[in-house]
Amino acid sequence: MADLLYPPVIGAARAWFKALDLRFDIRGTTHVPSRGGAVLVSNHISYLDFIFTGLAARPAKRLVRFMAKESVFRHKVSGPLMRAMKHIPVDRSRGEDAYAHALKALRSGEVIGVFPEATISPSFTLKDFKTGAARLAQEARVPLVPMALWGTQRLWTKGHKRDFGRNHFPVSIQVGEPIEPGQEESALSVTERLRDRMQELLEAAQRTYPATPQSAADAWWLPAHLGGTAPTPAQAQAL
């Protein structure tokens, strides 16, 4: 079935980015394979991360099918859009259905987008990873493509008002070399390798990010270990 809605949605997103005057630093998009199945794996710091993760696949002319919580598909606006773009609903009480759906898509040559932290990280650091992405890649015999986003939390994230003003926010997107999971390797070991690589990409994005907080009140989007006022991982977990 042709993707009739997905390309116009991408076009609308690009127009919106221009209206917001976002500045992008996108690196490593050549690591996204131009054909065949792959699991694109990103950190999760914003409600809009699926848009920016998908943007990383556009130079390879790939459309990403994201695994997202089932409630998004029940929403009267987002639901029809998500279904039309062939994203994959995840009912956490019946995760095996979403897994089977994603596995079938990978074997048919699709790119599946996964946020292994499952939910937004309020500390803007990497949380513990679920092993689902690794298991999918192993079973489908496809690569894991790690990536990191930075700056997206300034637009809209958990516990803060969204800011869609014309603020010239920089957004960093770093894509790393594909990871080939060993067939005899445990999913936990693959996940640990994936998380280590994504940590490197995230730190690189933070080092090169061309903006700093302009005041103490503006330091909320910077992690505590970098001098910001975001909660530490322990504080975030307690909350």
Query: Tell me, what's the pLDDT at 145?
Result: 98
Query: Tell me, what's the pLDDT at 166?
Result: 86
Q: What is the torsional sign of CA 136, 29, 125, 12? A: negative
- pLDDT for 63 beyond 80: yes
* Span 19-61, pLDDT tens digits: 999 999 999 999 999 999 999 999 999 999 999 999 999 999 9
CA distance 198 to 164: 27
Separation in Å, CA 184 to CA 48, 135, 167, 198, 218: 36, 12, 49, 22, 47
CA distance 9 to 51: 10
In single-letter form, the type of residue at position 105 comes to A
Where are the chain's structural domains?
6-212
CATH of region 6-212: 3.40.1130.10
Query: Tell me, what's the pLDDT at 83?
Result: 92
Query: Tell me, what's the pLDDT at 125?
Result: 98
Mean local confidence (pLDDT), 94-104? 93
pTM: 0.95
The DSSP secondary structure of 3-57, one letter per residue, reads -SSHHHHHHHHHHHHHHHT-EEEEE-GGGS-SSS-EEEEE---STTHHHHHHHTT
CA distance 110 to 107: 7
Q: What percent of the chain has pLDDT over 90?
A: 89
Separation in Å, CA 198 to CA 13, 71, 75, 120, 179: 25, 28, 31, 15, 11
- pLDDT for 2 beyond 80: no
Residue corresponding to tokens 């009912």: 91
Mean local confidence (pLDDT), 128-136? 98
* Span 159-178, pLDDT tens digits: 999 999 987 889 999 999 99
CA distance 195 to 136: 16
